[in-house]
Amino acid sequence: MTKHADPGERPGDWLIYRGEGTPHDGLRALPEPPPWRRFDRGRSAPGLGPGALERAVSYRPDPNVITMVNVALHLRRPLLVTGKPGTGKSTLAFNVAHELGLGPVLYWPITSRATLEHGLYRYDAIGRLHETSLRQATASGAAAQAPDIGRYIRLGPLGTALLPRERPRVLLIDELDKSDIDLPNDLLNVFEEGGFTVPELERLPEEDEVVHVLPAKGNDRVPVTRGKVQCSAFPLVVITSNGEREFPPAFLRRCVRLVIEPPDAQRLAEIVEAHFGPEARQASTDLINDFLSRREHGDLATDQLLNAVYLCTSGSRPPEGTLQEMIESILRPLGTAGSG
């Protein structure tokens, strides 16, 4: 039997993987993960996903952010949030949903191939046709009944957000500036009307007035009447953009616009304390100052600072020289490649 080395044989050694080729059980010495990298469901709010609750609770918005969120809520308008990567644009949606008890955030990540239909609903016509053929093949002389169309229609995140309910949902449309040039304009009518129509349901006979379809997540079907999805409480739509391109004036006119600035020293200290506690805040003053100094010469995200703080405070500190090398690598400006 292969002998496993005892990690206790090398006290004070922070290395888990040693690169020696000898099997050992050093993984037992691995400290707890950073709060935002805990994937067990017991540490997350239902539906928010791994780490989302930690991000939502620990988020510390500036006064201007609080003001503009309230403006969007009062006006029932989408909130267009721009700012550099790592400034908390996406986390804002989770923070609002958590504080106001609005349930799981509906998430729509945008790519260059995203279309309005992807956000509203998808109809699996081929799947339904296949089931119809199977029923006809197995029907013994009798006419086969068409399968329930509702099982083949799944609403997208935008479509689910527009379902009628007493309290609004929070919808995160992430990185809209990556979309095809037409998508922002395609969204305008849906935002103005607060609803949309599913043509496949609108054309059904009168006896099929109400059809139960699938929401974006889960299999608990929801009713749609005469193919019309119409919100009663307009959702809080948080649209993020990294500012890679301009949006059409007509789109901008219908949004409440917010620019999130990178957090200053005070705000960074509050973020560190929210994640790690007051002791970590006091111990991280020099690291925060170093982070701010580096940020003057290149873009840095707040989570880079948090990663560095974790390594310095996790209780399994590497040797000073190694720690400094790791911090240099972690706090490398975004977009910097190679080993400069």
The amino acid at 126:
I
* 105, two tokens: 């955030």
Determine the Cα–Cα distance for residues 292 and 134; give it in Å rounded to an integer: 65
Pick left, alpha or beta for residue 327 (phi over 0 → left; psi -120 to 50 → alpha; otherwise beta): alpha
Q: Are 148 and 127 in contact (CB under 8 A)?
A: no
SS (H, E, C) the chain: CCCCECHHHCCCCCCCCCCCCCCECHHHHCCCCCHHHCCCHHHCCCCCCCCHHHHHHHCCCCHHHHHHHHHHHHHCCCEEEECCCCCCHHHHHHHHHHHHCCCCCEEEECCCCCCHHHHHEEECHHHHHHHHHHHHHHCCCCCCCCCCHHHHEEECHHHHHCCCCCCCCEEEEECHHHCCCCHHHHHHHHHHHCEEECHHHHCCCHHHCEEEEECCCCCCCEEEECCEEECCCCCEEEEEECCCCCCCHHHHHCCEEEECCCCCHHHHHHHHHHHHCHHHHHHCHHHHHHHHHHHCCCCCCHHHHHHHHHHHHCCCCCCHHHHHHHHHHHCCCCCCCCCC
Please tell me the predicted confidence (pLDDT) of residue 10: 43
- Do 184 and 115 meet the contact criterion of CB atoms below 8 Å apart? no
- Kindly report the CATH class assigned to 52-259: alpha beta
Q: Is residue 204 within 8 Å of 149, Cβ to Cβ? A: yes
Dihedral class, residue 51 (left if φ above 0, else alpha if ψ from -120 to 50, else beta): left
Asked whether the CA dihedral 310, 311, 317, 321 is positive or negative, the reply is negative
Domain boundaries, the chain: 52-259, 263-332
Burial of 218: CB neighbours in 10 Å, binned 0-12, 13-18, 19+: exposed
| Phi and psi angles of residue 5, each rounded to the nearest 5 degrees, phi first | -70, 150
Determine the pLDDT at residue 232: 96
Below-50 pLDDT ranges, the chain: 1-12, 42-48, 337-340
Q: Which of 36, 66, 92 is nearest to 305 (CA)?
A: 36
Separation of alpha carbons 18 and 112, rounded Å:
43
pLDDT score at 2: 37
